[in-house]
Amino acid sequence: MNLDAFRAAIDGIEVEDRPHIVRQKSRDFFWYSPILKRQLDGFVGDLVVSPKDEDEVIRILAAAYAHDVPVTVRGGGTGNYGQAMPLQGGVVLHTNKLTGITALHEDSICVRAGTVIEHIEHHLRENGREIRLFPSTTASASIGGFIAGGSSGVGAIRWGGLRNPANIRRVRLVTMEAAPRILDLTGDDIHKAAHAYGVNGVMTEIELPIDPAVDWVDVMITTPDFISANTLAISLGEDEGVLLRMLSTFAAPIPELFFQRFRPFVGVGRGVIAAMVRRDDLPAFESHLQNWPTAELVYRADLADPALRLPAVFEMAWNHTTLRAIKTDPSLTYLQMMFPRDAMAQTITALDQHFGDEIMLHFEYTRFSGVVSPVAMPIVRFTTEERLEALIAELERDFGITVFNPHRVTLEEGGMKRTDISQLEFKRQTDPKGLMNPGKMIAWTHPDWQPEAGKSFLFQE
């Protein structure tokens, strides 16, 4: 890597080299995981560059290619698996200047990749439209970071995850080559770059499908226990007369311990459902609840005292649940896993009996191929790394649960535990020197890698 030659070649582009800023921009929410915190704490880039347009991105990548400088893209830096951390130093390419709406059509919007997601939603609402999916970090996450590093979020109960082809129209990508190319990926090709942690190019523009704006109302319901919260949640999720944007469930004691400002509503020892309901459907929603005499509608944002200035319910859900838990008790961490819908009650009971308060359950409901399905994001009481690895192994082996391990920095180990061949092939074409976010794709250097229970793969510098 020849950093001096690289700097000379990108003369005129904004560069930051003050060590404390470079360190700050080299970190994300990796510290959610005690394992990643130990493994990644020391990794830092050499420079931060902030291109203001696509031409500057092309210049940066051409110069990085010529001088063998690794490039790790950073949007809002809210990823929680160390995705945006430069494991081999080099350049952090910050997309904070690549912002703005480039086109608004009847059913889609084109935005630069660094645009903060909440800004897209605000712009759309002014035009009577809304975005389909957003992470609970919408106020600070970029749309490029969501597509490259996220998976799903608010909107999942209606639209599923980012893997659903209905949720991204087009991704524009600049490649890492001697003469960088601009590719516009559509259809199945989008998945070569989506959820690839930016290992095969820099996204500069995204086109997203949009829908007519809906007036959503935040609500909370309590139930006698977590099993009944989920039985009710599934029946609400399947009710075609009630349109929902979010449907989340929480086992006690999560709400009473971690949702401080909602404590007066959620009570103690109750299961809790948090949802976003179309305002016009509130009467149908309330009559649905009439069939569930033990359930209680405890909170409606439209009826709550505005002086309370309560946060949006989505800031209790998804990985905000984890954030609130860790802020209350730093010894807590989390897992992400598919939960068996057909054996839900038995599995909840079995986990409760086996793990007690080592696991506190919390589900986000997602529509997978039309089926309302629970994705579990439990809070876990951390003791040792060995115990956390053993816990994951037990969940998979003894309870038939698929864990998407959030304590791993590589694409393979965090996701489906195998290489995505189309992403690997694509990387060979778009990043032949392997300079994009090195260390995040095992198959790039170890094509024969096989997962080993309890062992994580961290590239050596």
Q: Which stretch binds ligand FAD (CB under 6 A): 130-138, 256-264, 352-360, 405-413?
A: 130-138
Query: Is the Cβ–Cβ distance between 443 and 449 less than 8 Å?
Result: yes
Query: Could you tell me the CA-to-CA distances from 425 to 177, 210, 237, 255, 441 in Å, in that order?
Result: 15, 31, 39, 45, 12
Out of 10, 25, 28, 379, the residue judged to bind ligand FAD by CB under 6 A: 28
Q: Binding of ligand FAD at residue 152 (CB under 6 A)?
A: yes
Q: Binding of ligand FAD at residue 137 (CB under 6 A)?
A: yes
The nearest distance, CB 268 to ligand FAD, in angstroms, is: 25
The nearest distance, CB 271 to ligand FAD, in angstroms, is: 21
The nearest distance, CB 178 to ligand FAD, in angstroms, is: 20
Out of 34, 45, 51, 75, the residue judged to bind ligand FAD by CB under 6 A: 75
Q: Residue with CB nearest ligand FAD?
A: 145
Asked, as a colleague might, if the bond just before 253 is cis with ω within 30 of 0, I would say yes
Q: Binding of ligand FAD at residue 320 (CB under 6 A)?
A: yes
Q: Edge to edge, what strands does the sheet with 337-338 contain?
A: 296-300, 216-223, 271-278, 244-250, 362-368, 371-376, 337-338, 402-403
Q: Binding of ligand FAD at residue 149 (CB under 6 A)?
A: yes
Query: Could you tell me the CA-to-CA distances from 272 to 91, 211, 330 in Å, in that order?
Result: 44, 29, 23
Q: Which two tokens stand for residue 137?
A: 């970090």
CA 11 centroid distance within chain: 35
Out of 35, 141, 190, 375, the residue judged to bind ligand FAD by CB under 6 A: 141
Closest CA to 347 of 295, 386, 396: 396
Q: For the window 203-222, what string marks contact with ligand FAD as x by the rule CB under 6 A? A: x-------------------
Q: Binding of ligand FAD at residue 84 (CB under 6 A)?
A: yes
Could you tell me how many residues of this chain bind ligand FAD (CB under 6 A)?
A: 38
The nearest distance, CB 141 to ligand FAD, in angstroms, is: 3
Phi/psi at 401 (nearest 5 deg)?
Answer: -100, 135
Q: Binding of ligand FAD at residue 51 (CB under 6 A)?
A: no
Q: Binding of ligand FAD at residue 202 (CB under 6 A)?
A: yes
Q: Binding of ligand FAD at residue 160 (CB under 6 A)?
A: no
Which residues sit opposite 186 in a β-bridge?
Answer: 170
Q: Which is nearer to ligand FAD, 136 or 228 (CB)?
A: 136
Q: Which is nearer to ligand FAD, 155 or 237 (CB)?
A: 155
Which residues sit opposite 170 in a β-bridge?
Answer: 186, 207
The nearest distance, CB 287 to ligand FAD, in angstroms, is: 30
Give the integer Cα–Cα distance in Å for 294 and 153: 29
Out of 77, 237, 271, 439, the residue judged to bind ligand FAD by CB under 6 A: 77
Query: Could you tell me the CA-to-CA distances from 367 to 157, 271, 336 in Å, in that order?
Result: 5, 22, 17
Q: Binding of ligand FAD at residue 65 (CB under 6 A)?
A: no
Q: Which is nearer to ligand FAD, 145 or 255 (CB)?
A: 145
Q: Which is nearer to ligand FAD, 39 or 136 (CB)?
A: 136
Q: For the window 421-460, what string marks contact with ligand FAD as x by the rule CB under 6 A? A: ----------------x-----------------------
Q: Which is nearer to ligand FAD, 156 or 227 (CB)?
A: 156
Q: Contact residues for ligand FAD (CB under 6 A)? A: 28-29, 72-80, 83-84, 95, 113, 135-137, 141-142, 144-146, 148-153, 197-198, 202-203, 318-320, 323, 437
